[in-house]
Chain A
């Protein structure tokens, strides 16, 4: 049974190899090969899951040692896998949602002539992500981590003929490099501190604490902060959040994959996996919660102002991942709920993105929500599935998001003290804003007037043109229609997940009992009862929805965006994140290089050139001695001989 673990990764990896090396012969069947291998990986995952369920909670860890990768005396890096409840959860999410997205892409990318390559990249993405969650040491995890970065680069820049897509891919890759630096430094620190970077020895188990206990607080805080930096990069947390919005340049299934099943969840996985390390470094945990709280508000505010449906959803992802990071920073109070929200979020965010893709598919790839409106009549299935995802994400009672988000807010309050109130308040505020922006998306897209009538879409200044639309005429009025079966089926399945997953996990605390052996769990000391928190969440939810309805439901939505307040304008520019990066990092870097060039020119070149010039001047003076008069040479010789004789005599006398 243990041997199946490697097959989990091997299946999509084989798919990537076959599809990318196979050439045009596979164009006709390539997408089905990719989908089948992703599904095969899911089947292996289910078999392993059934196997794990049949065991005792304490023995649900499977390991597989493939080979020794770098055996150098003290430095032992193995290619070995570890499948426990945490990895299992991720495997099912990645392969399950991933397979659905593969299926969806068959329809979505139908008109793209590079579809085979697209599926190759998708498979590569799955393989890298599976390697990341299955690795049993940090170095192998790093390989998967980099693989995810590579695959995201390839997929975000898939339409590389668009300069904006190529730039977005580069941006995502570069920002991720900053985080990767953090992870590599963390691994180096771990190796120098503990002498190993395998999960088992470093993190320990419940019975025997790992090497973490033996290290000094400062070292642990350093390692934990570096891990947090890595998580910030992959999970698009402040301050490394800027790539996520631009990553919308990729095809919509890619956005769904990045936001729901892979990539952004990697950071949360890293923090929860390294829980033992973070528990020993409370300062770092505080930073984690702060990053989470700031990001969840940041993303939510950005999501409110965007008119591009995908970018609004991207802001929402940032915000939801912020919730997870916040929960992960709370320590054992929150680990389980972070992962639970991650899974439910995987369902409804994938559903929302696929729904958005379906809307775009029917609207000539228009992404501006101000040019949508009243689409519920034309795309009933998309409307219903998107609507269920919407209800799930805002935390409508009974749906997935309600259970998981509510738990995180409770956990934030349960942190106790002033921190608990601040974090809990931020989470509550985030819930209100979430309700607001998601209602806004819903109303602008599916309700109200049909603003797309008599309105050519894809105006020249609209930058997001997807090539599928290019042969449909540049300025035709869109004819909204429901998407093909291969696209609606995944949306329906995901809608089921959005509705029932949360309840299924929460009844009898199933998810808690499942994950507890790995992550541990503590109740904390909530200052207010769970019921109060739930009621407060409901109250802010109603407020958020009501404000959105007052603004976008009751009044017609203008086709051209109004100027808006200062905050709105800032939020449209992603709260000036790029301007900040430009001013601080780009300008700062330019000034640094300029001053270095100045030092180089004045100091270094000055020394070199000065030496040369003084040598030149000296020889210029010396050469005057060579005047060509034999008698002056004779004087020199005579003087020299006299000096020699004098010196000899002097030495004798001494």
Chain B
């Protein structure tokens, strides 16, 4: 199978993720969309690794997973505490830092 198709899929997933980050208000959904973008990148890395015949891309994908796992821990913790204090998970409600 042509590896370029994987790149198309990655681009599609990334676009869906980015669109979700920009237009959704729910923090959990925004968070999932961020994960979607990260995994789109992972997919692209692996595809490139395959196309170029070396392992660089796969190593980076592992790194990304580790970072994403750490990010999920911190991010979910923030969202949960935000929800507890404000009873809402809307990112637009948390706009206290504006001037």
Chain A interface (Cβ < 8 Å from any Cβ of B): 623, 626-631, 634-635, 638
With A626-B97, A631-B23 given, name 20 new contacts (CB 8 A). A623-B99, A626-B98, A626-B99, A627-B95, A627-B98, A628-B95, A628-B97, A628-B98, A629-B91, A629-B92, A630-B91, A630-B92, A630-B94, A631-B21, A631-B22, A631-B25, A631-B30, A631-B91, A631-B92, A635-B22
Report B3 CB to chain A, min CB distance, Å. 21
With A and B bound together, what is the CA distance between A628 and B94 in angstroms? 8
With A and B bound together, what is the CA distance between A630 and B98 in angstroms? 10
Contact bitstring B10-22, A, C-beta under 8 A = 1, else 0: 0000000010011
Residues of chain B with a CB closer than 8 A to A631's CB: 21-23, 25, 30, 91-92
Interface of B (DSSP majority class): loop
Q: Are A634 and B21 in contact (CB under 8 A)?
A: yes
Q: Are B22 and A634 in contact (CB under 8 A)?
A: yes
Residues of chain A with a CB closer than 8 A to B96's CB: 628
With A and B bound together, what is the CA distance between A631 and B98 in angstroms? 13
Chain B interface (Cβ < 8 Å from any Cβ of A): 18, 21-23, 25, 30, 91-92, 94-99
Residues of chain B with a CB closer than 8 A to A626's CB: 97-99
Residues of chain B with a CB closer than 8 A to A630's CB: 91-92, 94-95
Which of chain A's residues has its CB closest to B95's CB? A628
With A and B bound together, what is the CA distance between A364 and B63 in angstroms? 112
Residues of chain A with a CB closer than 8 A to B21's CB: 631, 634
With A and B bound together, what is the CA distance between A623 and B96 in angstroms? 15
Interface of A (DSSP majority class): helix
Pick 11 A–B contacts, CB within 8 A, sort by A: A623-B99, A626-B97, A628-B95, A628-B98, A629-B95, A630-B91, A630-B92, A630-B95, A634-B21, A638-B18, A638-B22
With A and B bound together, what is the CA distance between A635 and B18 in angstroms? 10
Which of chain B's residues has its CB closest to A625's CB? B99
With A and B bound together, what is the CA distance between A623 and B22 in angstroms? 21
Residues of chain B with a CB closer than 8 A to A634's CB: 21-22
Q: Top 5 nearest A-B pairs by Cβ distance?
A: A628-B98, A628-B95, A630-B91, A628-B97, A627-B98
With A and B bound together, what is the CA distance between A626 and B91 in angstroms? 15
Residues of chain A with a CB closer than 8 A to B94's CB: 630
With A and B bound together, what is the CA distance between A421 and B25 in angstroms? 108
Which of chain A's residues has its CB closest to B27's CB? A630
With A and B bound together, what is the CA distance between A592 and B41 in angstroms? 74
Residues of chain B with a CB closer than 8 A to A635's CB: 22
With A and B bound together, what is the CA distance between A626 and B21 in angstroms? 19
Report B32 CB to chain A, min CB distance, Å. 15
Q: Are A629 and B22 in contact (CB under 8 A)?
A: no
Residues of chain B with a CB closer than 8 A to A629's CB: 91-92, 95, 98
Which of chain A's residues has its CB closest to B21's CB? A634
With A and B bound together, what is the CA distance between A629 and B99 in angstroms? 11
With A and B bound together, what is the CA distance between A635 and B25 in angstroms? 14
With A and B bound together, what is the CA distance between A410 and B31 in angstroms? 115
Report A3 CB to chain B, min CB distance, Å. 87
With A and B bound together, what is the CA distance between A292 and B97 in angstroms? 84
With A and B bound together, what is the CA distance between A638 and B34 in angstroms? 13
With A and B bound together, what is the CA distance between A634 and B99 in angstroms? 17
Residues of chain A with a CB closer than 8 A to B23's CB: 631
With A and B bound together, what is the CA distance between A627 and B95 in angstroms? 7
Report A638 CB to chain B, min CB distance, Å. 6
With A and B bound together, what is the CA distance between A629 and B96 in angstroms? 9
Which of chain B's residues has its CB closest to A635's CB? B22
Report A274 CB to chain B, min CB distance, Å. 76
Report B84 CB to chain A, min CB distance, Å. 19
Residues of chain B with a CB closer than 8 A to A627's CB: 95, 98
Which of chain B's residues has its CB closest to A641's CB? B18
With A and B bound together, what is the CA distance between A630 and B91 in angstroms? 7
With A and B bound together, what is the CA distance between A623 and B95 in angstroms? 15
Which of chain B's residues has its CB closest to A628's CB? B98
Report B18 CB to chain A, min CB distance, Å. 6
Report B11 CB to chain A, min CB distance, Å. 13
* Most interface-central of A631, A635, A638 (chain B CB within 10 A): A631
Report B22 CB to chain A, min CB distance, Å. 6
With A and B bound together, what is the CA distance between A627 and B21 in angstroms? 17
With A and B bound together, what is the CA distance between A630 and B90 in angstroms? 10
Residues of chain A with a CB closer than 8 A to B92's CB: 629-631
Report A618 CB to chain B, min CB distance, Å. 15
Report A511 CB to chain B, min CB distance, Å. 94
* Most interface-central of B30, B91, B92, B98 (chain A CB within 10 A): B98
Residues of chain A with a CB closer than 8 A to B97's CB: 626, 628
Residues of chain B with a CB closer than 8 A to A628's CB: 95-99
Residues of chain A with a CB closer than 8 A to B95's CB: 627-630
Which of chain A's residues has its CB closest to B96's CB? A628
Which of chain A's residues has its CB closest to B23's CB? A631
With A and B bound together, what is the CA distance between A634 and B18 in angstroms? 9
Report A482 CB to chain B, min CB distance, Å. 95
Residues of chain B with a CB closer than 8 A to A623's CB: 99
Residues of chain A with a CB closer than 8 A to B98's CB: 626-629
With A and B bound together, what is the CA distance between A630 and B92 in angstroms? 7
With A and B bound together, what is the CA distance between A132 and B51 in angstroms? 102
With A and B bound together, what is the CA distance between A10 and B54 in angstroms? 103
Residues of chain A with a CB closer than 8 A to B25's CB: 631
Which of chain A's residues has its CB closest to B92's CB? A629
With A and B bound together, what is the CA distance between A623 and B99 in angstroms? 7
Report B31 CB to chain A, min CB distance, Å. 11
Which of chain B's residues has its CB closest to A624's CB? B99
Which of chain A's residues has its CB closest to B18's CB? A638
With A and B bound together, what is the CA distance between A49 and B15 in angstroms? 114
With A and B bound together, what is the CA distance between A631 and B25 in angstroms? 8
With A and B bound together, what is the CA distance between A623 and B98 in angstroms? 9
With A and B bound together, what is the CA distance between A630 and B22 in angstroms? 9
Which of chain B's residues has its CB closest to A623's CB? B99
With A and B bound together, what is the CA distance between A627 and B30 in angstroms? 19
Report B34 CB to chain A, min CB distance, Å. 10
With A and B bound together, what is the CA distance between A390 and B87 in angstroms? 115
Report A602 CB to chain B, min CB distance, Å. 34
With A and B bound together, what is the CA distance between A631 and B21 in angstroms? 7
With A and B bound together, what is the CA distance between A631 and B91 in angstroms? 8
Report A396 CB to chain B, min CB distance, Å. 97
With A and B bound together, what is the CA distance between A628 and B98 in angstroms? 4
Report A65 CB to chain B, min CB distance, Å. 80
Which of chain B's residues has its CB closest to A629's CB? B95
Residues of chain A with a CB closer than 8 A to B99's CB: 623, 626, 628
With A and B bound together, what is the CA distance between A638 and B14 in angstroms? 12
Report B95 CB to chain A, min CB distance, Å. 4
Residues of chain A with a CB closer than 8 A to B22's CB: 631, 634-635, 638
